[in-house]
Structure 1
Amino acid sequence: MINDKLISAALDPIFTVYAQNDDVRDFYKEVTADVKEAAQALLDNKQATVPQQAVEMAVKSLGDLTEPLQLISSPAASAAVATTSATVAQSWSDTEVRHIILRADETQVRLVASADAQIHVHQFQQPKLAASKLQLKQSEDTLYLAAPSPRWFQYLIPFRHPKSVVEIALPAQFAGTLDVDLKSGSLSATDLTNQLRATLTLRSGGITMEHVQFKTLSAQLTSGSFKANHLVCETLSLNAHSGAVHLANVETIFDLSAHSGLVKGNMLAGAGQFDVHSGSLTLNWQRIDGDIAVINHSGTVKLQAPAADSFKFDLQAQSGTVKVTRNATYSLQVQGAALGQVGEAPQYSVTVKNHSGTIRLN
């Protein structure tokens, strides 16, 4: 048996140097469970002779955790901006504007529901600086917005970093496009339902979706976090290079790519493909409507399918272990692979290819 103290002794020196926020604590729990399972498998298969050696080998197989830990432990930048007086406040009807393009350097972007049938754009600043004032230009049915970063000497007055919030209020009947390119900061959408087709690009920061329904959503995140709770859209295309991805109550066709970090989904509905280079991937499904495909270079993959479903599975770990905790019929069952099906009438297929690490299907 693997002693938890051995795992703590191996992981604590890695984790304790980082700020202990919720993401770090969740990641620690995930890694602890993965190491325990992998170490036990190494002992059972006689690839390790003693528990301590097994734990050391299991931890080593995780790879370098520095980058994901640095990202998920970084405090989110807070932008407490007074919103009593807007620097910019303009409105358009949804027949005038069908496409919105925003380019910003260092800004907090908020997408909210309009209280009427119009599109409203506001900018709030603290302090108010002409150099970083939102610039607006309309060309036919396209609205161009630009929020430049303030010049460096303005940071000294009044002895604090300037804050800027751009708020875009969209009406329920809006069925146009939104293209946001943000160098750093944050983007949030809250309590918003329409037929928007959104394309979001963020170099550094965080994207948050809360009670949102769009037509389609495409997001590119270089470093930072993506969090969605109660999100519905026809397709979700997400490319997160490094950081944490948290999905809860999300219904869509997924096309998710993550280079490194933590990807965790709960109460998911839909189908799709997931490509994770290194890190931990956990997907708990409430409903599966089509095939699920996962490619992972190194790390742990945990999938949970609805208990009543019948499906085919093809799970392969080139260097690692595969475990299926369901009543299943197997055509192949070895340490690093499991092929077969659950139930009598498969509705979809679950395919996981893992170069090194653990695959677990519940």
Structure 2
Amino acid sequence: MINEKLIEQQLQRFFNDKPHSGELLDFYEEVKADLTESASKKLANDSELSEEQAVNLAADQMGDLSPAIALISQTNDSVTELAESMDEQTNDLPELLEINAGFGEIFLSQSVDEEIHIHQKISPTDNSLKMKTIETPDKVSISIPKPSWLKYLTPLRHPKSKLYVEIPDSFTGTTVIDGDSSSIQVNAINVSGELSISLNSGIVKLNQVKANISNIQISSGQLTASQVQANKINVNGNSGTVNIDNSQAIFNVKVNSGVIKAHFISGSGAFATHSGSIKTSWQDVTDDIKLTTQSGTIDSQLPMLQNFDFKLSAESGTVKLKNRQATYDLRAQGAAMGQTVDAETNASFAITAMAKSGTIKIS
């Protein structure tokens, strides 16, 4: 059994004295238990170590506890607010707006004037979590560092950050948002530039967005897009859910494992999953559509007043084409069902749906 006095001597490097109450006492006891367990294992694995040497090695491996202690010692309502405005002295806007957040929430919206406004709220107060901005004639960079794991040790004391960025409607440059474990919300913007979003894990929400090209990369998380108008919308996800509603674009949506739902959309493009389902309903189709899944279901509703060339196939499953006037090609090893006749006029666009194992339903 490790001598308790040796453990307490090491803890005095960070704690001036043993706390008497509150969260800091809980943290003290937690660190004390971890240090004792680590020192005991070192002593058991190396017979040449003394108790003091084992405790010293274990304490050195824990690193600096001071930032975590300072964070816990602050009050819950400690909030720091930072604000900056770009281009106050000139009407020139940058070609690139770059936002990189190691954590927290990001809000992008329209500016009421011709400036880029930046505002951050962080809680508790911690200088290491404050945003950093770099402005050059061609580029504005905003970064929020990722917190150390020590700041997450104590429940209810997790650091929080909310970053608000406002861009003017005259902004024609590219906006790049990169988040690690974050929530990204883009609301009510109308710009002619490109919008690109990359998120490791979390939620992306787009609402009332008009942009030239929207590129969205999600490793693990959820995308919700409503009332989005773009020349192109490119979505690439590893796992998660994509919900697109009442939007218009050339779509290119790929999710390795997950669900794609697109309702009341207009335009054209491709939707694909490796393992999952695809459900789309179209208000207007302006070019060819391709729907693909390796293992899952495809369900698509098309405008009744438009004629299409259907190419539907399922290696193992069922293909259903209902109530359409169309030229079509149905192929399935399982079953093919449909009430179709050759169209009186040539089809406007091609609808291709392929499922290696699953069900295809087109109506």
TM-score, normalised on structure 2? 0.73
Look up the SS of the partner of 1:195 in the other structure: coil
Determine whether 1:226 maps to 2:252: no
Amino acid of the residue matched to residue 87 of structure 1?
A: L
Equivalent AA in structure 1 for residue 317 of structure 2? G
> 3-state DSSP class of the match of 1:327?
strand
In 2, are the aligned partners of 1:326 and 1:342 still within 8 Å (CA)?
A: no
Alignment-derived partner of residue 195 in structure 1:
192
- Structure 2 residue ranges without an equivalent (≥5): 1-75
How big is each residue's C-alpha offset from its partner over 1:71-103, in whole Å with a ceiling of 9 and x where there is no partner? xxxxxxxxxx99996223333266142211122
Say yes or no: does 1:125 pair with 2:126: no
Call closer, same or farther: CA 1:314–1:341 in 2, change over 3 Å: farther
The 1-side partners of 2:131 and 2:198 are apart by: 18
Aligned position for 2:353: 352
Change (3 A) 1:94 1:199: farther
TM-score using structure 1 length: 0.73
Structure 2 counterpart of 1:265, from 240, 262, 266:
262
Taking structure 1 as reference, are residues 114 and 85 closer, same or farther at Cα in structure 2, changes over 3 Å only?
farther
1:196 to partner: Cα distance = 2.5
Shift of 1:105: 1.0
After superposition, the Cα gap between the structure-2 partners of 1:159 and 1:306, relative to the gap in structure 1 and judged at 3 Å, is closer
Partner of 1:59: none
Query: What SS does the aligned partner of 1:131 have?
Result: helix
Contact 1:242 1:258 in 2 (8 A): yes
Residue correspondence of structure 1 range 61-210 to structure 2 within 5 A: 86-92=81-87, 95-155=92-152, 160-210=157-207
State the shift of 1:123 in Å: 1.1
Larger Rg, first or second structure (1 or 2)? 2
Range that drifts further, 259-268 or 91-100: 91-100
Instruction: Report Cα offsets for 1:230-253 as digits up to 9, x if no partner.
Output: 000000010011111111001000
SS of 2:295 mapped into structure 1: strand
Q: Name stretches of at least 5 consecutive residues in structure 1 with no aligned partner.
A: 1-80
Letter paired with 1:128? T
**Residues of 2 paired with 1:316 and 1:300: CA distance?**
12
Match of 1:51 in 2: none
How far apart, in 1, do the equivalents of 2:343 and 2:102 lie?
Answer: 50
* Residues 82/330 of structure 1: CA separation in 2 closer, same or farther (3 Å cut): farther
Maintained 8 Å contact 1:83/1:124 = no
Name the SS for the 1:183 alignment partner.
strand
How far residue 345 of structure 1 moved from its aligned partner, in angstroms, is 2.6
| Aligned-pair identity (%) | 28
The count of residues paired between Structure 1 and Structure 2 equals: 282
CA distance in 1, matches of 2:86, 2:348: 49
Work out whether residues 313 and 341 of structure 1, in 8 Å CA contact, stay in contact via their aligned partners in 2: no
The match for 1:326 is 323
C-alpha displacement of 1:194: 1.2
User: Partner of 2:208 in structure 1?
Assistant: 211
Three-state SS of the structure 2 residue aligned to 1:325 is strand
Q: Is the 8 A contact 1:315 1:353 kept in 2?
A: yes
For 1:36-55, what aligned pairs fall within 5 Å after superposition? none
Q: Is the deviation greater in 339-348 or in 112-121?
A: 339-348
Q: Residue deviations 1:195-236, cap 9 Å, x none?
A: 130111100001000111111100100011000010000000
Q: From the superposition, tell whether residues 356 and 343 of structure 1 become closer, same or farther in structure 2 (CA, over 3 Å).
A: farther
Tell me the distance in 1 between the aligned counterparts of 2:247 and 2:296.
23
Structure 2 CA distance, aligned partners of 1:188 and 1:82? 24
Contact 2:311 2:328 in 1 (8 A): no
Residue equivalent to 2:299: 302
C-alpha contact 1:229 1:247 (8 A) present in aligned 2: yes
CA distance 1:224–1:341, shift in 2 (3 Å):
farther
Does the Cα contact within 8 Å between 1:311 and 1:343 map onto a contact in 2? no
The CA deviation at 1:176 is 0.6
Deviation at 1:349, TM superposition (A): 0.6
**SS of 2:147's equivalent?**
coil
Q: 1:137 to 1:343 in 2, by over 3 A?
A: farther
Q: 1:120 to 1:334 in 2, by over 3 A?
A: closer
Quote how far apart the aligned CAs of 1:275 are: 1.7
Query: What is the CA-CA distance between 1:342 and the residue it aligns to?
Result: 4.9
Secondary structure of the residue that 2:128 maps to in structure 1? helix
